[in-house]
Each structure stands twice: as C-alpha cells, then as structure tokens.
Amino acid sequence: MSTLPYELFKASSTPVYYYDIELLQRTLESLVKAASIDHRFKVHYAVKANARPEILRIIQAAGLGADCVSGGEIKEALTAGFQADRIVFAGVGKTDREIMLGLSHDIECFNVESTAELTVINDLALKTGTVANIAFRVNPEIDAHTHRYITTGLSENKFGIAMSQLDEAIDMTHGMKGINLVGLHFHIGSQLTQLDSYRLLCDRINELVDRYRKKGVEFRLINVGGGLGIDYDNPDGTPIPDFRSYFNLFKDSLYLDNNQEIHFELGRAVVAQCGSLITRVLYIKETPTRRFAIVDAGMTDLIRPALYQAHHVIQSVSDDICERPVMTYDVVGPICESSDVFATDESLPELRRGDILAIRSAGAYGEIMASQYNLRKLPGAIFNNQ
C-alpha cells in the first residue's frame, strides 16, 4: 500500500486530483537512466497526458522534450520552459493558426499526417520566409492489441500516411522550398502491455529505412511514438514502468546509423501512477439487486472507465478501515448518465458517508480530460510537496 496523505485529503474539498511529486521524480529518474543506454535516444513527453504547469516544469527539468498536439499545448510547453527546438507537433487536423505558431517558434519538427497538410505547411512557411522541419507520420498497419479507441496504427484509423502512399508524399517534398524532410514518425497505440507489437514496429521501420536508403532518401530522425502501458491493477506493486526492457528492445531491434536520432513520445508511463482522483462518499444506496456507493467525483472528472471500460484501483483511505468488514459496491458518480460508473462489484471496507476514496493511476488522461458537463466545477489539484 502506498502512503496516501489522509490528513491532506481530509483538509481538501473533493473531488480533487492528488499528485505524488516524489513518485513523478523517481519515475523520471528511472526513465532518463534507462534511455541513456543509447546516445541517439531522445524522449519527448506527450503533453496530452497531463498538462498541469507544475508537472510540465518537473518533466522539463528532467531533460525531456515535449510532444504537442495543439497550439494550446505548444504554448503551455513553452511557458513551462521547454525549448522550441525540443518541441514536436503532431495531429491530423492542425489549423493554419497552429502551424503559424509552430513556424514562428521554429519548433523541432512537425509530424505530418497527410499530403494536404504538407501543402498547407509549405505554403505558410513560404509566406513567412521560414522552413519547416517535418517527419511523415506513417501508418505501419500494426495491431497494438489494446482498446480499439486507443489503437492508432491500423489502416482503418485516421492517423498517418499509408505506406503505399509514402513514395508520393516524399516525392512531393522535393519541390517544396518551405519543407525540410528530416524523418519518419510512428505511433501504434496507447497502453501497450506487451512489448511484442514494438518488435513488429521495429521490423517495419528497418524495412522502410532500408527501402528509402536504396532510393537515396535518408532520414535523420526516427520517431517511434509512445504507448508504453502501466499496471492499472497494481499501482503499488508496479509504481514505475519497466523502462529498461522498453528501451532495450529498441536498442536491440532497430538497426539504425550512429547519426540517426530515435525519438520516443511517452505520456502515460511518465505520469499515470503519480496521480489519484480523491473523492468522498456521498450516499450508500441499496436497491433490491445492487449496493451503490455514490461518490462526489464523476465521469466528468475521470472519463476513462466510461469511455474505455477502464478499471482503476479504488482504495479507501479513511483511518479506521482495518476494523470494517469488506463489502461489495458499485462505485458510481453523480452525473446523469448510466455510464457514470467507476467500478462494479468492487470489494471495499464498509463505506459510510464522508469516507474518502482514492481512485488510483489517474495521473494520465485524468484531469486533462475533465469536462464541465452538468455545469460542474473542474476538479483542481493538490500535491504532496506543498
């Protein structure tokens, strides 16, 4: 069991996100150490996972770059201290304004997802007298064996350029004075718990790099995306993901040159385990068939269970829980949606009104995906280093 600061929670209004900054720092140390096995490895943090300024600043200080998917994220990353030449910009629907923002800061790389987008970036770069470094995001047609909503590397997904259309896209860049083609980008999906799919990805990358080298096209940069999963079932047993095996796999399986950079874009693996959603029990409601614990957090604060049928460990943190009998609850929120359920048949020490629960592993895609549906307030955050 982790030591969750009950006193801090008691003094806080709920729902609220709690971040264990010490765990974030240990996670970053472990990541940086594991990535240092190869001087070509560069890690960019996927800002979409959690863009809290306090968290971004710590990640920046650890030496990571930033992987952004909107103008808002680019601005937040810059504010947190990330250098523009360590910011990459991905996304299938970049607006002109967002592209201009990236160009005006001369960001490290645009990850381009279609030839239509390529043309617009070139036009805007020419208009502003700049040159955009770009990498083509390739759809490698590899199944990541994760939830279908977070699978991105299959032909039915909207992401990336089909391998069969890559020749045409690369040819187009030749006449474009606003474009500097520097690399290829891939991302097969999120919450990958088996590394096998990454091995397939490496094979695919080796094939492509080889094929284009024979045609005289060299890529200085290969971006393998993110997706390393975390242990949602046992946050205390595996607080830090196995970064070593992850980076070793790429070291062993990617056959690249000494001067090629390899970029990783990790989000969840960096921040998920350091965050918990803290909530209070409002009511216990027993119906003829179920026993509900109705809590003050809802799907507006943490949408993952409703959207991906995700299960997050729920831990009771009230002080006398050891003395209480274990009972079974459906833990539900107050939102007017039947999908507003955090867990069904969850075994917990008997719950009473006012008890505090921690919904664990919520540091990634938790607070950042919160909405104000039902005109609720956004949850806000507390930290253990306050």
According to CB under 6 A, which residues from 235 to 294 bind ligand LLP?
A: 265-269
Among 139, 190, 318, 361, the residue binding ligand LLP under the rule CB under 6 A is 190
Among 7-15, 119-127, 161-169, 221-229, the segment contacting ligand LLP (CB under 6 A): 221-229
**Shortest gap between Cβ of 90 and ligand LLP (angstroms)?**
5
Nearer to ligand LLP, 173 or 223 (CB): 223
By the rule CB under 6 A, 191 interacts with ligand LLP: yes
E strand or H helix that includes residue 152: none
Positive or negative torsion for Cα 38, 39, 44, 49: positive
Report the candidate in 33, 43, 81 with the shortest Cα–Cα distance to residue 65. 43
Summary count for the chain: helices (H), strands (E): 11, 17
Give the x-and-dash track for 57-76 against ligand LLP (CB under 6 A): ----------x---------
Buried/exposed code over 229-247 (b: 16+ C-beta within 10 A; e: otherwise):
bbbbeebeeebbbbbeebb
Q: CB of residue 286 vs ligand LLP: minimum separation in angstroms?
A: 32
Site string for ligand LLP, 124-163 (x = CB under 6 A): --------------------------x-x-----------
Tokens of residue 346, six digits: 């969850």
Paired residues of 343 in beta bridges = 331
88 or 281: whose CB is closer to ligand LLP?
A: 88
- Min CB(49)–ligand LLP separation in Å: 5
Q: Which of 90, 230, 302, 314 binds ligand LLP (CB under 6 A)?
A: 90
Q: Output the smallest distance, CB 326 to ligand LLP, in A.
A: 29
Stretch of 79-87, 204-212, 222-230, 314-322 lying at the interface with ligand LLP (CB under 6 A): 222-230
Tokens 């205390």 sit on residue: 236
Compute the least distance from the CB of residue 298 to ligand LLP, in Å: 16
Nearest to 343 by CA among 301, 386, 299: 299
CA nearest neighbour of 14 among 302, 343, 313: 302
E strands, 152-310, are: 161-162, 179-185, 221-223, 261-266, 275-286, 291-295
Bridge partners, 276 (sequence order)? 18
Nearer residue to ligand LLP within complex by CB, 102 or 226: 226
Nearer Cβ to ligand LLP (67/355):
67
The three-class DSSP label of residue 66 is strand
Answer whether 77's CB lies under 8 Å from 87's CB. yes
**Of 243, 239, 278, 281, nearest to 366 (Cα)?**
278
Where does this chain touch ligand LLP (CB under 6 A) — which range of 186-194, 233-241, 321-329, 370-378? 186-194
Among 15, 65, 227, 298, binds ligand LLP (CB under 6 A): 227
Q: Of 152 and 300, which has the nearer Cβ to ligand LLP?
A: 152
* DSSP state letter for 192: B
Number of residues that bind ligand LLP (CB under 6 A): 21
Interacting residue ranges for ligand LLP, rule: CB under 6 A: 46, 49, 67, 90, 150, 152, 187, 190-191, 225-228, 265-269, 304, 308, 365
